[in-house]
Amino acid sequence: MTTQQKKLSMISFSGDFDKAIAVFTLASGAAAVGYEVNIFFTFWGYNAIKKAQGRATQGTGFLAKFFNFLMGGFKNLPLSRLNFGGISPHLMTYMMKKNNVATLKELIEASVQLGVNFYACEMSMVILGTKPEDYLHIKEQLGVAKFLKLAEGGQVLFI
């Protein structure tokens, strides 16, 4: 353990704004002190790193469109407890700016700059009908076995 790099791996499952803040605060904070950080995006977790605003999948069938309708983009992530007509992520971002705390966008950028690895869950890509190119900074698609292999010897969180 002494000579090995410390490691933090996270399964980013939730599409909630506040949980995305948690994921990228932990990611950038850990990377800043030298941790290897791996984020495995799955289900709603993709929301935070979508390229296209307001679309969950690039599929064109009815089901893909239905999911698109239900999922928002980076700018309209729901805030688990405070989502009054979409106003609250804006409120939270405002409070973060006002208090000189990094916003979600800044936390994601910092994570990328600090070398945090973004991985996509293979299965959820198949279900949602999306490709890694639809999201920002995806390094690779992984199944569960490869993710567990990556995470070995470090801390793992499900968020």
Contact residues toward its own copies (CB under 8 A) are 1, 6, 8, 11, 13-15, 18-19, 21-22, 25-26, 29-30, 32-33, 35, 42-44, 63, 66, 70-71, 78, 80-82, 91-92, 94-96, 98-101, 123, 126-129, 143-145, 148, 151-153, 155-159
- Please say which residue, 51 or 153, places its beta carbon nearer to its own copies: 153
- Please say which residue, 49 or 125, places its beta carbon nearer to its own copies: 125
In the sheet that 7-12 helps form, which strands lie side by side, from edge to edge?
A: 138-142, 117-121, 36-41, 7-12, 155-158
Shortest distance, CB of residue 139 to its own copies, whole angstroms? 20
Specify the 3-state DSSP secondary structure of 133: helix
Shortest distance, CB of residue 156 to its own copies, whole angstroms? 5
- Please say which residue, 3 or 98, places its beta carbon nearer to its own copies: 98
**Residues, the chain:** 159
Q: Which two tokens stand for residue 76?
A: 């309209």
Nearest in space to 37 (alpha carbons), one of 156, 130, 146: 156
Shortest distance, CB of residue 133 to its own copies, whole angstroms? 18
Shortest distance, CB of residue 34 to its own copies, whole angstroms? 9
The Cα–Cα gap between 34 and 74 comes to 27
- Please say which residue, 52 or 144, places its beta carbon nearer to its own copies: 144
Shortest distance, CB of residue 26 to its own copies, whole angstroms? 6
Burial of 77 (0-12, 13-18, 19+ CB in 10 A): buried
Give the 3-state secondary structure percentages of the chain, helix then strand then coil, rounded to 5: 45, 20, 35
Nearest in space to 74 (alpha carbons), one of 137, 27, 150, 157: 137
